[in-house]
């Protein structure tokens, strides 16, 4: 029987034939993809002809076609709809793919060809994009150890293989704890919860096979439970289970994995001649150095901590007025903050959510993309990998741009969080390849599905990433879409969130799911006025996580990461009733791979730019100004990694911004 992953895909837009693919198809497809790629790379390395850009760099770009295609399907499914077979294959693939990567970067004949091109680059008559691609290929090989020899090279290969295994296990452990834990809720304990929380808890109970409602560790359920439940003892149980993911002393415990990961990363950096892993990791980013990252974070930390401590005093007084003596605890913050928000801004999330239906907010994000970039979205009735996933064809002026897949609801088989990925990336080399872009969220499923304002921001955030992928317009897939510096990649996503805050967008799309009535003007005004509410808390929990990540990788690796985490938090004066957004044992950004290791700060680095970039629209008097949108597309969204990130931003805005727009956007500018 023909393996559908290895056949020509004759589906509309050459989408993967999901209905025909089984888990059993992946392993042999990976085997063939690896075999084809090895043969293609050997042919490049052994080519008797003198190296040129086409027979070396372009050939490398196209060498892994089958492997890229199979990986694009598998890893999207493994994150969004895990099965035991997929998890087992992930564990098996981690060392295999790491070894394959090392084979390429330690291939001396192949690197010699790249080095020959590099040394003669000024005589090659390359385009600017080709020169950028050559530069990045050489940088990738050197940073992967291509110049190492003998025992050092062999050890680096071992280290990278082990890190790949550890990252996979870390992710699966977090998912395992999230999947297995739940807290049954008695009917009388539903008192005080809004209808949408009760409905979500009942649906979660049905999914888990429980006899009644349950609270799970999915953010879309546990956060509103912590916001609204008056049962303090239940809030404590749920909160402590949430923050203990990966640290329960069971088969899913990640503390040992974190320690080994940090040790191996330090060794990797040392083998390559760097003082620390942070120095190694940050070298190609916009920040360049750990000192620059720390400077930004501490400039934000100081006012955020002052604001958070002041807020804690107010919330503790509210708690004591309820007759509860003692200190404000982390499981109390969201509950009393929600009560305070309702009192000070007259905002009740249970009354707000009916105006933020998922369908309406999808319509809002599409409408903004149409007004800014002329994109149109046509629903597709096609088989996908899960019944909850949906697809649209994206066009502009009748021309096909991309396929966009949205997978919005939480389920036990999906890892937590939200992300954007590409099953297929844009490129022109080897034909005009249009992307298949996927947005993954973990919203509570309901009839209808109603979002919190934070959920709606998440929806817009991930769609900003999707636009970066869909509007990419480069020749080389190597620099396509989001293939940019880590501290630049969040700019399009965080920038797109700003359009959710535009009054006319909410006035048009924030309509009651049942009546169709627009959000009342006074509610809309209160919602926007509360935009900086509780930013002391939000900023502290984020910056604390970023500072722990940086410190872990900046010095000697800690033998006990949990003890080191506690030391770091004490050093910076972490407010007692706030915890890190991501404690070490479930800090997937940092330990599921090294994408955000030493790089969790990048959301804030990008926020400096996104606040300034949106100001470019505001300065025109029209947040949908066509000329500014065109510049944004030209210099950022379509450009991928075709230039250095700072050069791209400067081309769009004229100069790099300071930290003041970020502080202003968080309501922290004048805090002292």
- Asked if residue 513 lies in contact with residue 635, where contact means CB atoms within 8 angstroms, the answer is no
Return the closest-CA partner of residue 5 out of 13, 398, 17, 594: 17
Domain 12-147 and domain 353-529, same fold? Reply is no
| Residue 348: per-residue pLDDT | 87
DSSP one-letter string for 262-288: HHHHHHHHHHTT-SSHHHHHHTTSSS-
**β-strands 436-443, 399-409 pairing:** parallel
Say which residues have a Cβ less than 8 Å from residue 570's Cβ, sequence separation at least 6. none
How many residues would you count in the chain?
Answer: 672
DSSP character at residue 520: P
Lowest mean pLDDT among 206-210, 234-238, 283-287, 483-487: 206-210
Mean pLDDT confidence for 555-573? 97
Residue 445 pLDDT > 70: yes
SS3 label, residue 220: helix
| Residues facing residue 427 across a β-bridge | 433
Report d(CA 469, CA 455) in Å as an integer.
Answer: 22
Whole-number pLDDT of residue 232: 97
Q: How much of the chain, in percent, has pLDDT values that exceed 70?
A: 100
- CB atoms under 10 Å from CB of 581, counted, come to 16
Across 303-309, average pLDDT: 97
Of these residues, 462, 497, 541, 633, which one is catalytic?
462
Phi, psi angles (nearest 5°) of residue 436: -115, 115
Handedness of CA 265, 562, 293, 539 (dihedral sign): positive
At 672, the pLDDT band (50, 70, 90 cuts) reads low
Q: What is the mean pLDDT of residues 580-600?
A: 95
Domain boundaries defined on the chain: 12-147, 181-243, 353-529
Residue of 582, 579, 625 lying closest to 600 (CA atoms): 582
Query: Of 339, 470, 467, which Cα lies nearest the Cα of 403?
Result: 470
> How far is it between the farthest Cα atoms of the chain?
83
Q: Is 462 a catalytic residue?
A: yes
What does the alpha-carbon distance between residue 318 and residue 637 come to, in Å, rounded to a whole number? 46
Give the pLDDT confidence score for residue 350 in this predicted structure.
87
Condensed to tens digits (0 to 9), the pLDDT of residues 357-375 reads 999 999 999 999 999 999 9
CATH superfamily of the domain spanning 12-147:
Endopeptidase. Chain P; domain 1 (1.20.1050.40)
Any idea which architecture 353-529 has in CATH?
A: Orthogonal Bundle (1.10)
- Residue 188, number of CB atoms within 10 A of its CB: 7
């Amino acid at each position: 029987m023909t393996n559908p992953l290895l056949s020509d895909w004759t589906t509309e837009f050459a989408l993967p034939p999901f209905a025909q693919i089984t888990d059993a198809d992946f392993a042999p497809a990976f085997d063939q993809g690896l075999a084809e790629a090895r043969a293609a790379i050997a042919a490049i390395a052994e080519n008797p002809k003198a190296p040129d850009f086409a027979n070396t760099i372009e050939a490398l770009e196209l060498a892994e076609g089958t492997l890229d295609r199979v990986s694009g399907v598998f890893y999207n499914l493994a994150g969004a709809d895990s099965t035991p077979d997929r998890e087992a294959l992930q564990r098996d693939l981690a060392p295999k793919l790491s070894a394959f990567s090392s084979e390429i970067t330690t291939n001396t004949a192949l690197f010699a060809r790249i080095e020959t091109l590099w040394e003669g680059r000024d005589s090659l008559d390359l385009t600017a994009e080709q020169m950028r691609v050559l530069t990045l290929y050489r940088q990738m090989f050197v940073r992967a150890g291509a110049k190492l020899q003998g025992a050092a090279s062999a050890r680096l290969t071992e280290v990278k293989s082990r890190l790949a295994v550890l990252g996979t296990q870390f992710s699966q452990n977090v998912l395992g704890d999230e999947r297995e834990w739940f807290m049954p809720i008695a009917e009388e304990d539903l008192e005080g919860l809004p209808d949408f929380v009760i409905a979500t808890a009942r649906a979660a109970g049905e999914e888990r096979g429980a006899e009644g409602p349950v609270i799970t560790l999915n953010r879309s359920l546990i956060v509103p439970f912590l916001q609204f439940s008056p049962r303090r003892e239940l809030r404590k149980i749920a909160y402590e289970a949430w923050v203990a993911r990966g640290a329960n002393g069971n088969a899913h415990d990640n503390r040992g994995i974190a320690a080994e990961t940090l040790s191996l990363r330090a060794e990797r950096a040392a083998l390559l001649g760097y003082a620390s892993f942070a120095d190694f990791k940050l070298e190609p980013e916009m920040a360049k150095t750990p000192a620059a990252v720390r400077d930004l974070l501490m400039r934000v930390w100081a006012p955020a901590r002052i604001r958070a401590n002041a807020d804690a005093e107010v919330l503790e007084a509210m708690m004591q007025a309820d007759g509860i003596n003692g200190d404000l605890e982390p499981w109390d913050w969201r509950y009393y903050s929600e009560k305070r928000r309702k009192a000070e801004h007259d905002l009740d999330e249970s009354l707000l959510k009916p105006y933020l239906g998922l369908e309406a907010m999808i319509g809002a994000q599409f409408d903004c993309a149409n007004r800014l970039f002329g994109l149109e979205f046509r629903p597709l009735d096609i088989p996908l990998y899960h019944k909850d996933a949906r697809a649209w064809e994206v066009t502009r002026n009748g021309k096909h741009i991309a396929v966009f897949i949205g997978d919005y609801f939480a389920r036990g088989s999906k890892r937590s969080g939200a992300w954007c990925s590409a099953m297929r990336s844009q490129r022109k080399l080897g034909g005009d390849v249009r992307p298949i872009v996927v947005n993954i969220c973990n919203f509570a499923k309901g009839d209808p599905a109603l979002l919190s304002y934070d959920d709606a921001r998440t929806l817009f955030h991930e769609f900003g990433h999707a636009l970066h992928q869909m509007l990419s317009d480069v020749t080389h897939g190597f620099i396509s879409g989001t293939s940019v510096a880590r501290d630049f990649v969040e700019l399009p996503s965080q920038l797109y969130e700003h359009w959710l805050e535009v009054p006319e967008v909410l006035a048009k799309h924030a309509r009651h799911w049942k009546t169709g009535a627009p959000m009342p003007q006074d509610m809309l005004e209160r919602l926007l006025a509360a935009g900086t509410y509780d930013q002391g808390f939000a900023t502290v929990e984020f910056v604390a996580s970023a500072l722990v990540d940086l410190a872990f990788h900046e010095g000697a690796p800690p033998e006990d990461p949990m003890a080191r985490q506690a030391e770091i938090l004490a050093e910076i004066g972490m407010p007692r009733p706030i915890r890190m957004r991501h404690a070490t044992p479930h800090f997937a950004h940092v330990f599921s791979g090294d994408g955000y290791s030493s790089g969790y700060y990048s959301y804030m680095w990008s926020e400096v730019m996104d606040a300034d970039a949106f100001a470019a629209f505001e300065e025109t008097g029209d947040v949908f100004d066509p000329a500014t949108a065109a510049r944004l597309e030209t210099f950022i969204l379509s450009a991928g990694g075709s230039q250095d990130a700072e050069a791209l931003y400067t081309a769009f805005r004229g100069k790099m911004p300071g930290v003041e727009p970020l502080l202003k956007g968080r309501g922290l500018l004048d805090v002292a």
